[in-house]
Every structure is written in structure tokens, then in C-alpha cells.
Structure 1
Amino acid sequence: MCSRLLAFAAALLLASPLAADNPYPWLAPRSSQPPVLPEIFVTTESIVKRNDWLAIDARQDDAYATAHIPGALQLGRTADRPWQQVDDLRAALSQAGLTGRERLLLYGNARSRQRLGRLFWLLEWAGFAEPKVLSGGFEAWLAAGQPVASGRELRPPQNFVSGAHLETTVDVVWLRHSFGEAGIELLDLRDRTDWTTSDYEVPPAFGDGHVPHSLPFVFSTLLTQADGWPEPAEVRRRLRALGPRPGDRVDLDSTFVLIGRDGSDPEPGLGYLLLRSAGIEVRILGGGWQAWISDRTLPVVRVVNAAELRELIEVGNPDLDHDSAPGLLLFDGRSEAAFARGHLPGAISLPAHRFAAGIERMIAERGEDLDPQSATLVFYCYGRDCVRSRTSSTIAARYGFRKLLWFRDGEIAWREAGYPFFASTVASGNPP
């Protein structure tokens, strides 16, 4: 198992920014290329000049039945279903009377923007080329004095022919081999609190477990206008500032993978639409977080605080009176000098820039005694402003370790809690 694990990890780490020669991938350079912004949002004035649009209404059923753009189809229930196979989606669209060749115009209202975003993603996934979104929604249509219809409109079933082949989704197999690589950014969308406007406090779902190297984000917080959409520049500004700590920035030339709760979560669809409109490459993880955790061999990072970590150490060291943490591999990402001055019970000094080599050596030396599926690894550094522990946890995940605990608050929180430290006469960067 040891040799197979090392071979697998070596393949994963090839060309990865997390290798020892580039241990700080969060210091991403600003893009020097101006963004290419697709024309997704259109005005009522521009669309009434031509009559070849097929309108898709994303609002609630009762709102559609009361009044809608003449000829519009209501595909809300299609948007709400958790589609797993694109062929099943295409079959449903063909039953709704779509061929795949129509020029689509999506519209909604303030309450339906998440659903509209999800519809936009689903339609591009199905193969529609360049669907458009009506800026200002149905209210803008009414304000322009345009005609409306009522009731439900139906079209006869059609043969669906996929035209465009835009990459819109990834699966867990792809993500397993891609997290932590250069040019890949993962956004966890399961929470409803914004990472960048809450002093970088860990949101609850993200803290309970997340895909390694992902960052929490909430696209809904960008919907500040009553029924409008954020400007592409604002989307890019907010996303660029998303790094793992204040001041870090994200490379907007990356491909962003959006992770929702499950296959029916509308938040990734909203994020997909906003990132597409801002000229950013984006994919959605099919099945979301539920798809990831359904495979129990995949790594999960959980954020722990000082009290939780103390309880874990106390399982094998009840009084915290000796320098050990039985049952845990507790990695200290600080400098060797800081480790020597004082470290957590049982900690192993292994700074982030040498972590890949150190964990590889540990795997080789311990062999069958080190099971990546059952071992519990803990990572800490100086405090929240030190993200070396996050980097090390991602490297460990790419080596196949599954149970990963990120003590994000680090040395500062442990010291503030009054918990014990142990000094070393000689700083050692070698795992025992």
C-alpha cells in the first residue's frame, strides 16, 4: 500500500502549486489581461427589435399564470430538479417543446434570481448557445409598455439536438485530482454568511467540513439591488479579495469550481451566471457537497477551535502534562525556532515549505502502520493570519489522507486559552 500511495501522490502533485518550490499559492499575481465580458444581460429595448426570441420565465407558477411575456415557457420545475445526467435534462427540455436551437431569453423577478441563475446554467449544460437574461426582469418589460399574456402556454414535444458544448460541470473524480492545482479555485457556497465581510469568521457548514483548499463565498450577498444584477466589475472585485485571510487575493484567470449543498441547491447556478457575466471561467460540481461526502475515501477538512483540539489531545493525554498526543498526527507549521520555544503537546515540527517532503518520508518510514484512511491529522500555525496550516492540510489531502483537522486559530488561541506548551532543547523538523 505504501508504494502505491506514494506513486498516486506523486502523480497528483505533478505541476501542483503546493509542491515545495511554490508553497504559497495564495499569493496569486494580478491578471494583466483585460477580462472578456460576454453579452449576457440585454435590455427590453434591444430584444423587441427582433422577434426570434423564445422567452423562459423563471418566476413562481402563480406569477407566470397571472401575466408573462407572450409565448414564454415556464421551466421552474425543471430548474428545481437535481439533474444527474445531461441526457435526462435534454429529454425533459424536448418534452417541454425545445429543440436546442432556439434563441433563449430568460427573465424573472427579485424573488427568482437564484432560480434564473440555475436555469441559465442548466440550459448551457444542455447545449444552448448564448442564452440571454433580461435586465430588470419582468418589471422592466412592463415598464416599457410591452404586451403580456396569461395562463399557461404549451409547446408540442420536439427532438432535442445539442449544439454548443460548453464545459459547465465537473464530477468528484475530476475534483479529486484537481483541488490545490494551479489555476483551480474552489468556492464553497453552502453557508449564508459572507467570508469577506464577517472578519473572516468560519461559517458553520464550512467549518464542519469542506473540500480541501476551498474557500467559503455567498453570491446572494451580491444581489443588493431590488431586482437588478451586480456589475461585472463588482463581482470581480469581491471575488479577487476572497483569499484565505485579509489582503490575500485570488487569481481571476483561474477556473472556479462552485460547490453547493447538493444537486438541487440554486446558489451555484446563481454564482455560475454572475461569474460568466464577469468573464470568469466557472464550473459546478455535480451533486455538490453531498456527492463529495458520499465517497468515504475522499478527504474532508474540518475546522477546530482550541477547546475542541484540547479534548482530542486529552483522549490520550488526560492532564496535558506530557509532550504527546496519542492517536493524532499534530503538525506545527511555524518556524523551527518558534517550535523550540514552545509547541502544543505532541506536535511535530514540519513547516509548510518542507511539508510535502516530510509527509512523503513519513509514509515511507511507517509503511503499513500509517493508514491514510484512518489516521487523523491536525494542522496549526501562528494564528489566523498564518495560512501555512491550510496549505499543509491540502498537501496531506493530495497524498490521500482523509481525516484532516485545521486548527485555524493556532498558537495565539491556544496561548490565550491558557493551555500548556512544551519547549524543545533542539528544534527538530523531522517527524518522529
Structure 2
Amino acid sequence: MDATVSKRWLLARLYEPEQTIVDCRFTLGQPEAGRDSYEEEHIPGAVYLDLKLDLSSPEREHGGRHPLPDPEVLAARLSKLGIGNDSRIVAYDDENGMNAARLWWLLRYLGHEQVFILEGGFSAWKAEKYPVTDHQPVRVPSTFVPNVQPQMLAGYEEVRSVSQRTLKDEANPSAANSSSALPVLVDSRSNDRYLGQNETLDPVGGHIPGAVNFFWKDTQNADGSFKSADELAEHFAGLPKDREIIVYCGSGVTACPNVLALEKAGFKNVRLYAGSWSDWISYEENHRNGDLQ
């Protein structure tokens, strides 16, 4: 089954007991806005998970603006909400799926495959006159046991090595260390941020040297749904399918829709650099050595 589900699909299964709907709405710069919106109205039966409080851990010196949550802490939160290892989760937001995709990626990282994203998000659901409510459900706690999949992650040291080797190979294509075996770094931010222009979220603009740019919103249609597999394959046609792809963004959130889109397009080996650009620039060695573009 695809990683996304339609509004009609969810409506037909709205009250199935094995399913948990999760509202992931969150507005950068307005940390209370998502929960306030949830409390005002949401899809019936939905519970709320906060990007900063639930789907991230507190910021540290390194790790970026939205460090990954501790698996055991997140598992305890899921358990309290009645989400167990047999649950089917449908996530939605109102931010083109970026926060819902963060939950989608995190659950898969914890070894849970039965997780999907609602196409179009909450506004599209409401626009179709589907039911909404302000009632917050009472959930019976369950047990979620994480089975962490570390192979889904790429760490800072590995990304730095890939970047340096990519630049070296680009400078000397005939070298024995051919870049054809290297992972490809994909920057998911808008092109102006990739180019170091109009940077409003991080203190330093630019991109990881050697990375190519595929803006995450270009994977979607005007209504916020993801493009078809064929359309996404065409969109990512410049990337080799026989190589590993490491995806990053500003803080590891908007990279997640790109991970989903790449997998939908047929790429089999896609990993996330969770700390992303905000983690990269936290290391002075990059500044000292001029490793910013």
C-alpha cells in the first residue's frame, strides 16, 4: 500500500478500533498554534503530537534545531496515547505534510510500518465537508515497543566524509576513488536557501558542499497531495537509482516528505541526515575550513 491515503479512504475507516489518527499541525515561530488549532477542531478521534515537544528532543550544541526524540521517550508517549505495535496510524497536518511525514518517518525508524499520511491535510478534509469536532478522545493506554532501525539514519561524520570525497572526485574525475560509488547528498530546501540566499531560519546560509537540490514541495500537486510514482520518477530522474541517497533539509523535518517521495519513485536506499543543515553549521570545523557553499 502507498504511504498516503485519501480523504475518502479515511472517512470509510474513521472509527475502526485498530486505527489511531494523529494531528501533527505545527507552525514554526508559533509553538502553541498547532495545539490551539487541534483543540478548536480536528478530525474525529484524532490525538495530538507536537513537533517540538513530542517529535523532537530538546536542542543541544549539535543535532540541529529539531533533534530526533529518544526512541524510548517517544515510545512511552505513543503508548500513553493508546498506540501499540499493532496500531494503524494515519497522520495529518496543515503544512503540506511536512510534520505528518516527520511522524511517518519516526514510526518507521522505530520499526512500525503501518503508518500513513492523509493527502491534502486538515484544510482539504474540512473543505470537503467531512466531519470535524472539538471533542478530545479518551484513549486506553497500550504498549509500543520500539525496534529501532539505525540503517535509516546518516550521521554527521558520514555526511562530512561523503561531502569531502564528492568534492575530491569532482575535482579529479579520473581518480581511482570514483564518485559513482558514493552516496548522493540531496538538499530538500528551496533553491534560494540552498544557494545561501534569503536564509531566515538558520544563522548561516548555504548548503553542504557536493549536495544537489530537490525542493520538497516540488514533489506535490497544487492540492497538497503527492505526485504519482511516475511523476516523481521523472522529477528525480537526475538521481541514480543504484546509489544510496542521503536526504537533509534545515532541521530534518522537510527532508521527510522527500524521503517518502523518493521511495515512492522507486529509490530503495534512502537515508535521512536528521540534524541536517542546522547541525552541519554547528561544527566550527566547517566554518574554519570554508566548508560552506
Q: Same fold (TM over 0.5)?
A: yes
Shift of 1:169: 1.8
Give, in whole Å, the separation in 1 of the partners of 2:140 and 2:265. Answer: 36
Assess if the C-alpha contact under 8 Å between 2:184 and 2:244 holds in 1. yes
1:414 equivalent in structure 2: none
2:43 equivalent in structure 1: 69
Give, in whole Å, the separation in 1 of the partners of 2:185 and 2:278. Answer: 15
The TM-score normalised by the length of structure 1 is 0.49
**1:225 is the counterpart of 2:191:** no
1:212 equivalent in structure 2: 209
2:73 equivalent in structure 1: 88
Task: Output the amino acid matched with 1:116.
Answer: A
Aligned residues: 251
1:125 equivalent in structure 2: 109
Alignment of 1:136-151 (within 5 A): 136-138=120-122, 141=125, 147-151=131-135
**1:272 is the counterpart of 2:235:** no
Q: Which runs of 5+ in 2 are unaligned?
A: 26-33, 58-65, 167-178
Task: Output the amino acid matched with 2:222.
Answer: Q
Assess if the C-alpha contact under 8 Å between 1:194 and 1:216 holds in 2. no
**1:239 is the counterpart of 2:236:** yes
Assess if the C-alpha contact under 8 Å between 2:20 and 2:46 holds in 1. yes
Structure 1 residues 151 and 172: CA distance shift in structure 2, 3 A: same
**1:168 is the counterpart of 2:152:** yes
Q: Which runs of 5+ in 1 are unaligned?
A: 1-37, 196-201, 241-248, 301-373, 375-401, 407-432
Give, in whole Å, the separation in 2 of the partners of 1:405 and 1:283. Answer: 22
Secondary structure class of the residue paired with 1:106 = strand
Alignment of 1:256-271 (within 5 A): 256-262=245-251, 265-271=252-258
The TM-score normalised by the length of structure 2 is 0.69
Assess if the C-alpha contact under 8 Å between 2:96 and 2:121 holds in 1. no
User: Based on CA coordinates, which of the two structures has the bigger radius of gyration?
Assistant: 1
Structure 1 residues 130 and 185: CA distance shift in structure 2, 3 A: farther
Deviations 1:141-177 (A, max 9, x none): 5577654432333435443212574743211133234
Give, in whole Å, the separation in 2 of the partners of 1:290 and 1:136. Answer: 28
Deviations 1:247-273 (A, max 9, x none): xx32133322122223xx532122223
Secondary structure class of the residue paired with 2:234 = helix
Structure 1 residues 43 and 83: CA distance shift in structure 2, 3 A: same
Give, in whole Å, the separation in 1 of the partners of 2:160 and 2:107. Answer: 26
Query: What percent of counterpart residues are identical?
Result: 24
Deviations 1:25-67 (A, max 9, x none): xxxxxxxxxxxxx511223444455523211122333433333
Q: CA RMSD in A?
A: 3.4
Shift of 1:224: 4.3
Deviations 1:279-327 (A, max 9, x none): 3232211211233343444x57xxxxxxxxxxxxxxxxxxxxxxxxxxx
Q: Which of structures 1 and 2 has the larger relative contact order (alpha carbons within 8 angstroms, sep 6+)?
A: 2
Alignment of 1:30-429 (within 5 A): 39-50=2-13, 51=16, 52-59=18-25, 60-77=34-51, 78-79=54-55, 82-84=66-68, 85-109=70-94, 111-138=95-122, 141=125, 147-163=131-147, 165=149, 167-179=151-163, 180=166, 181=179, 182-193=181-192, 202-204=195-197, 209-240=206-237, 249-262=238-251, 265-280=252-267, 281-297=269-285, 402-403=289-290
Give, in whole Å, the separation in 1 of the partners of 2:256 and 2:213. Answer: 16
Assess if the C-alpha contact under 8 Å between 2:71 and 2:148 holds in 1. no
Give, in whole Å, the separation in 1 of the partners of 2:56 and 2:38. Answer: 16
